[in-house]
């Protein structure tokens, strides 16, 4: 999800942040002592124009054969590519089945639309009900393979109100919600900017990006946190420019965060993601230490092949050998030994996700091998351990730390900056 591309409208934020930074760091003058020195900026900063539209792919990775749709207000129906509108305002629809129709069309209830890429724009907000979830903004429906894919387009501030409660327990402190909100906003804008060419959405609605369940998740705490941090993102100054970075976060680091390139070798190694942030505050997490998990060798093989079909050639997995660990024990790379003695190597986090991210809760574990199974034991932490630790954040918030200091702690060298009003 994070291939770097800096072209077209997606680079707006970079350019704008770059311009703002140049304004600050570019104000140098030659002093009477012969040294270049910084002068205070005198002119007000120009308002920043950021493309705030976020496009969220709904309902998983695969096209759906059909889905149930209601639109509870009149809506405009347009061809997404050409912008041409089909007829006058469409009347509201209730529990219509939407599905592919004919060679290239889409059917909504009885209505056949001669386009495979349409956008519904209701005249009132929060009027789209897809499956059992209500969404703000507009809905794009595209034919893909034999089914349909659904993408919700909405302003990032509205999106965040539907994200926070999917990412944090209700009882978390308001400063935690604010810190999470700034991280989530930065993450979404970074994903939007760095998405691969041709991709028609910025984020998924699940753990692959950020959990987003629409209007139903907008409670008072979420709304308060979004409004209190309106337009704020995490930035760092690399010496030449100020920029956002991929603000990864996970549930519980287990004691020490890890370097982004341990998990994502192709990501830019932004200093705030260099890891090694000691965190003694996530001990309150339910999965700070986790119980042993036993998985049969046959099942381990099946899970790995499902995700990496080429592993099939090594036969049944008979051995798992961590090749490289972090100083606190996280497995960076895992050697997988097959029944014929052949070997494959996977990134530790990829191995874990193959087993199931909720089953094997982190890459910090010991391995016991029995005749027909592996036991993952002495487990520490929950999640990938990059960047912000959510349970550590919560303990810090309850001790009185505000969200800006929390973010500066988990993303060292970064600051919080408002980039639009
Ligand atoms: Zn932690």
pLDDT tens, 32-78? 343 444 444 455 545 445 789 999 999 988 999 999 999 999 999 99
Helices (H), 127-173: 156-161, 164-167
Strand pairing category for 203-204 and 53-58: parallel
Find the 389 Cα to ligand 1 centroid distance in Å: 5
Find the 339 Cα to ligand 1 centroid distance in Å: 38
pLDDT of 49:
57
pLDDT of 39:
44
Residues of the chain falling short of pLDDT 50: 1-41, 45, 47-48
pLDDT of 239:
84
Find the 391 Cα to ligand 1 centroid distance in Å: 6
Domain residue ranges of the chain, discontinuous segments joined by +: 54-158, 162-249+384-418, 289-380
Q: Under a CB-based contact definition with an 8 Å cutoff, are residues 188 and 412 in contact?
A: no
Find the 335 Cα to ligand 1 centroid distance in Å: 27
Strand pairing category for 28-30 and 133-135: unpaired
DSSP character at residue 352: H
Length of the chain: 421
CA distance 381 to 363: 8
Find the 279 Cα to ligand 1 centroid distance in Å: 5
Per residue in 390-400, pLDDT (tens digit) is 999 999 999 99
């Amino acid at each position: 999800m994070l291939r770097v591309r800096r072209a077209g409208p997606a680079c707006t934020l970079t350019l704008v942040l770059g311009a703002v930074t140049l304004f600050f760091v570019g104000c140098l003058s030659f002093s009477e002592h012969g040294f270049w020195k910084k002068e205070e900026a005198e002119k007000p900063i120009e308002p920043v124009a950021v493309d705030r539209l976020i496009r969220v792919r709904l309902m998983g990775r695969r096209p759906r054969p059909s889905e149930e749709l209601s639109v509870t207000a009149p809506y405009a129906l347009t061809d997404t590519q050409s912008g041409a509108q089909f007829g006058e305002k469409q009347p509201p629809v209730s529990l219509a089945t939407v599905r592919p129709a004919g060679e290239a069309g889409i059917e909504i209830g009885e209505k056949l639309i001669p386009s495979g890429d349409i956008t519904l724009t209701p005249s009132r907000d929060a009027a789209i009900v897809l499956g059992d979830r209500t969404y703000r903004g507009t809905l794009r429906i595209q034919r893909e393979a034999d089914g349909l894919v659904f993408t919700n387009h909405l302003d990032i501030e509205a999106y965040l109100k539907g994200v926070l409660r999917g990412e944090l327990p209700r009882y978390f402190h308001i400063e935690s919600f604010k810190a999470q909100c700034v991280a989530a906003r930065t993450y979404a804008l970074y994903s939007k900017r760095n998405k691969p060419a041709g991709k028609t959405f910025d984020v998924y609605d699940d753990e692959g990006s950020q959990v987003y369940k629409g209007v139903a998740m907008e409670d008072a705490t979420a709304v308060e946190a979004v409004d209190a941090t309106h337009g704020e993102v995490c930035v760092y100054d690399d010496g030449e420019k100020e920029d956002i970075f991929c603000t990864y976060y996970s549930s519980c680091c287990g004691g020490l965060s890890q370097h982004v390139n341990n998990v994502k070798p192709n990501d830019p190694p932004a200093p705030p993601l260099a890891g090694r942030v000691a965190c003694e505050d996530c001990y309150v997490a339910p999965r700070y230490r986790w119980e042993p998990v036993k998985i049969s060798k046959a099942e381990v093989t099946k899970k790995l092949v499902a995700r990496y079909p080429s592993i099939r050639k090594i036969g049944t997995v008979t051995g798992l050998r961590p090749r490289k660990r972090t100083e606190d024990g996280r497995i960076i790379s895992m050697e997988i030994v097959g029944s014929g003695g052949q070997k494959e190597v996977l990134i530790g986090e990829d191995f874990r996700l193959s087993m199931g991210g909720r089953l094997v809760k982190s890459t910090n574990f010991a391995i016991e091998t029995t005749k027909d199974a592996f036991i993952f034991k002495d487990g520490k932490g929950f999640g990938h351990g990059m960047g912000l630790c959510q349970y550590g954040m919560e303990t810090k918030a309850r001790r009185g730390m505000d969200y800006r200091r929390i973010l500066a702690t988990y993303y060292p060298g970064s600051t919080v900056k408002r980039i639009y009003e």
